Structure 1
Amino acid sequence: MRYPTSQKELLSEVRGDRTKTDFAEELGIDRSTLSRYESEELGASTKVLNYCLRAIAARSGQTGEGESLGTVAQALSLTKRAVGLLEQAAAKN
Protein backbone atom coordinates (compact mmCIF):
# COMPACT_ATOMS: atom_id res chain seq x y z
CA MET A 1 0.00 0.00 0.00
CA ARG A 2 1.29 3.43 -0.94
CA TYR A 3 0.58 6.02 1.72
CA PRO A 4 -0.95 9.35 0.68
CA THR A 5 1.10 12.50 1.10
CA SER A 6 -1.51 15.13 0.19
CA GLN A 7 -5.17 15.83 0.79
CA LYS A 8 -5.94 14.86 -2.81
CA GLU A 9 -4.15 11.52 -2.48
CA LEU A 10 -5.73 10.82 0.91
CA LEU A 11 -9.27 11.35 -0.35
CA SER A 12 -8.63 9.43 -3.56
CA GLU A 13 -7.10 6.47 -1.71
CA VAL A 14 -9.98 6.22 0.75
CA ARG A 15 -12.67 6.77 -1.92
CA GLY A 16 -11.24 3.95 -4.04
CA ASP A 17 -13.69 2.79 -6.71
CA ARG A 18 -16.73 4.46 -5.17
CA THR A 19 -18.37 7.31 -7.03
CA LYS A 20 -17.91 10.84 -5.76
CA THR A 21 -21.63 10.95 -5.05
CA ASP A 22 -21.54 7.80 -2.89
CA PHE A 23 -18.38 8.83 -1.05
CA ALA A 24 -19.66 12.37 -0.44
CA GLU A 25 -22.87 10.93 1.01
CA GLU A 26 -20.82 8.67 3.29
CA LEU A 27 -18.85 11.71 4.47
CA GLY A 28 -22.00 13.78 4.94
CA ILE A 29 -20.98 16.46 2.44
CA ASP A 30 -22.11 17.62 -1.01
CA ARG A 31 -20.55 16.08 -4.10
CA SER A 32 -19.35 19.53 -5.17
CA THR A 33 -17.59 19.99 -1.83
CA LEU A 34 -15.84 16.64 -2.26
CA SER A 35 -14.72 17.71 -5.74
CA ARG A 36 -13.25 20.90 -4.30
CA TYR A 37 -11.49 18.90 -1.57
CA GLU A 38 -10.08 16.43 -4.10
CA SER A 39 -8.81 19.22 -6.36
CA GLU A 40 -7.40 20.94 -3.26
CA GLU A 41 -9.34 24.13 -4.03
CA LEU A 42 -10.67 23.88 -0.48
CA GLY A 43 -9.12 22.47 2.67
CA ALA A 44 -11.05 19.46 3.92
CA SER A 45 -12.75 19.70 7.28
CA THR A 46 -11.21 18.05 10.32
CA LYS A 47 -14.11 15.61 10.36
CA VAL A 48 -13.38 14.46 6.79
CA LEU A 49 -9.62 14.25 7.36
CA ASN A 50 -10.13 12.28 10.57
CA TYR A 51 -12.47 9.88 8.76
CA CYS A 52 -9.90 9.31 6.03
CA LEU A 53 -7.00 8.89 8.44
CA ARG A 54 -9.00 6.34 10.40
CA ALA A 55 -9.76 4.44 7.19
CA ILE A 56 -6.08 4.35 6.20
CA ALA A 57 -5.04 3.27 9.70
CA ALA A 58 -7.69 0.53 9.70
CA ARG A 59 -6.53 -0.75 6.31
CA SER A 60 -2.97 -0.90 7.52
CA GLY A 61 -4.06 -3.04 10.46
CA GLN A 62 -6.26 -5.29 8.32
CA THR A 63 -3.57 -6.11 5.78
CA GLY A 64 -1.32 -7.76 8.33
CA GLU A 65 1.46 -5.41 7.29
CA GLY A 66 1.71 -3.70 10.68
CA GLU A 67 4.90 -5.34 11.88
CA SER A 68 6.68 -5.18 8.53
CA LEU A 69 5.82 -1.52 8.06
CA GLY A 70 7.57 -0.57 11.27
CA THR A 71 7.70 3.19 11.54
CA VAL A 72 4.78 3.84 9.19
CA ALA A 73 2.53 1.48 11.12
CA GLN A 74 3.52 3.14 14.38
CA ALA A 75 2.80 6.58 12.95
CA LEU A 76 -0.62 5.48 11.72
CA SER A 77 -1.38 3.93 15.09
CA LEU A 78 -0.46 7.16 16.85
CA THR A 79 -2.52 9.15 14.34
CA LYS A 80 -5.52 6.91 14.97
CA ARG A 81 -5.14 7.43 18.72
CA ALA A 82 -4.76 11.20 18.28
CA VAL A 83 -7.90 11.34 16.13
CA GLY A 84 -9.82 9.53 18.85
CA LEU A 85 -8.58 11.93 21.52
CA LEU A 86 -9.44 14.96 19.38
CA GLU A 87 -12.94 13.66 18.79
CA GLN A 88 -13.41 13.05 22.52
CA ALA A 89 -12.25 16.59 23.30
CA ALA A 90 -14.54 18.06 20.64
CA ALA A 91 -17.50 16.11 22.01
CA LYS A 92 -16.96 17.65 25.44
CA ASN A 93 -17.17 21.19 24.02
Structure 2
Amino acid sequence: MCGNGRLEQRPEDRGAFSCGDCSRVVTSPILKRHLQVFLDCRSRPQCRVKVKLLQRSISSLLRFAAGEDGRSRDQEPWQKSSFLHLVSFWLRATK
Protein backbone atom coordinates (compact mmCIF):
# COMPACT_ATOMS: atom_id res chain seq x y z
CA MET A 1 0.00 0.00 0.00
CA CYS A 2 1.32 3.43 -0.87
CA GLY A 3 0.02 4.87 2.44
CA ASN A 4 -1.67 7.98 1.10
CA GLY A 5 -4.84 7.41 3.15
CA ARG A 6 -7.14 8.38 0.27
CA LEU A 7 -9.58 5.50 -0.06
CA GLU A 8 -12.35 5.22 -2.60
CA GLN A 9 -15.35 2.94 -2.38
CA ARG A 10 -16.09 1.08 -5.60
CA PRO A 11 -19.74 0.11 -6.13
CA GLU A 12 -18.84 -2.22 -8.99
CA ASP A 13 -16.81 -4.32 -6.50
CA ARG A 14 -19.69 -4.55 -3.99
CA GLY A 15 -18.47 -1.52 -2.07
CA ALA A 16 -14.87 -2.68 -1.62
CA PHE A 17 -12.34 0.02 -0.84
CA SER A 18 -9.31 0.72 -2.97
CA CYS A 19 -6.45 3.19 -2.84
CA GLY A 20 -7.18 6.36 -4.80
CA ASP A 21 -3.59 6.55 -6.08
CA CYS A 22 -2.31 3.01 -6.66
CA SER A 23 -5.76 1.28 -7.02
CA ARG A 24 -4.85 -1.61 -4.72
CA VAL A 25 -7.80 -3.19 -2.93
CA VAL A 26 -7.88 -2.53 0.81
CA THR A 27 -9.46 -5.50 2.57
CA SER A 28 -9.55 -4.11 6.12
CA PRO A 29 -9.73 -0.32 6.04
CA ILE A 30 -9.48 1.61 9.27
CA LEU A 31 -12.27 4.15 9.11
CA LYS A 32 -11.96 7.31 11.17
CA ARG A 33 -14.53 10.02 11.62
CA HIS A 34 -13.76 13.65 12.24
CA LEU A 35 -16.22 15.97 13.94
CA GLN A 36 -15.57 19.49 15.12
CA VAL A 37 -18.00 21.30 17.35
CA PHE A 38 -17.96 25.06 17.75
CA LEU A 39 -19.22 26.44 21.05
CA ASP A 40 -20.10 30.05 21.78
CA CYS A 41 -19.72 31.53 25.24
CA ARG A 42 -22.51 33.88 26.38
CA SER A 43 -20.30 35.68 28.90
CA ARG A 44 -17.68 36.32 26.18
CA PRO A 45 -19.52 36.78 22.88
CA GLN A 46 -16.27 37.40 20.97
CA CYS A 47 -14.98 33.93 21.91
CA ARG A 48 -15.67 30.68 20.12
CA VAL A 49 -14.23 27.35 21.18
CA LYS A 50 -13.48 24.63 18.65
CA VAL A 51 -13.62 21.10 20.03
CA LYS A 52 -12.35 18.07 18.15
CA LEU A 53 -14.13 14.98 19.39
CA LEU A 54 -12.51 11.61 20.07
CA GLN A 55 -13.51 8.63 17.94
CA ARG A 56 -15.45 7.02 20.80
CA SER A 57 -17.36 10.27 21.46
CA ILE A 58 -18.32 10.57 17.79
CA SER A 59 -19.46 6.94 17.71
CA SER A 60 -21.52 7.47 20.85
CA LEU A 61 -23.20 10.58 19.43
CA LEU A 62 -23.95 8.88 16.13
CA ARG A 63 -25.50 5.88 17.90
CA PHE A 64 -27.62 8.28 19.95
CA ALA A 65 -28.71 10.19 16.83
CA ALA A 66 -29.73 6.97 15.08
CA GLY A 67 -33.00 5.24 15.84
CA GLU A 68 -33.21 2.07 17.91
CA ASP A 69 -33.00 0.05 14.70
CA GLY A 70 -29.81 1.85 13.62
CA ARG A 71 -31.50 3.88 10.89
CA SER A 72 -31.36 7.64 10.94
CA ARG A 73 -34.49 9.36 12.17
CA ASP A 74 -36.29 12.01 10.16
CA GLN A 75 -36.22 15.09 12.34
CA GLU A 76 -38.14 18.32 12.40
CA PRO A 77 -36.03 21.52 12.64
CA TRP A 78 -36.80 21.91 16.36
CA GLN A 79 -35.60 18.35 16.98
CA LYS A 80 -32.32 19.05 15.21
CA SER A 81 -31.72 22.17 17.30
CA SER A 82 -32.61 20.19 20.44
CA PHE A 83 -30.12 17.52 19.45
CA LEU A 84 -27.42 20.16 18.90
CA HIS A 85 -28.27 21.68 22.28
CA LEU A 86 -28.00 18.22 23.84
CA VAL A 87 -24.62 17.65 22.17
CA SER A 88 -23.43 21.01 23.47
CA PHE A 89 -24.69 20.17 26.98
CA TRP A 90 -23.12 16.71 26.81
CA LEU A 91 -19.77 18.23 25.86
CA ARG A 92 -19.90 20.65 28.78
CA ALA A 93 -20.98 17.94 31.19
CA THR A 94 -18.16 15.58 30.23
CA LYS A 95 -15.26 18.04 30.28
TM-score by length of 2: 0.27
- Looking at CA atoms only, which structure, 1 or 2, has the larger radius of gyration? 2
Question: Which of 1 and 2 has higher RCO (CA within 8 Å, sep 6+)?
Answer: 1
Normalized per residue, the structure richer in helix is: 1
Structure showing the higher strand proportion among its residues:
2
Q: TM-score, normalised by structure 1?
A: 0.27
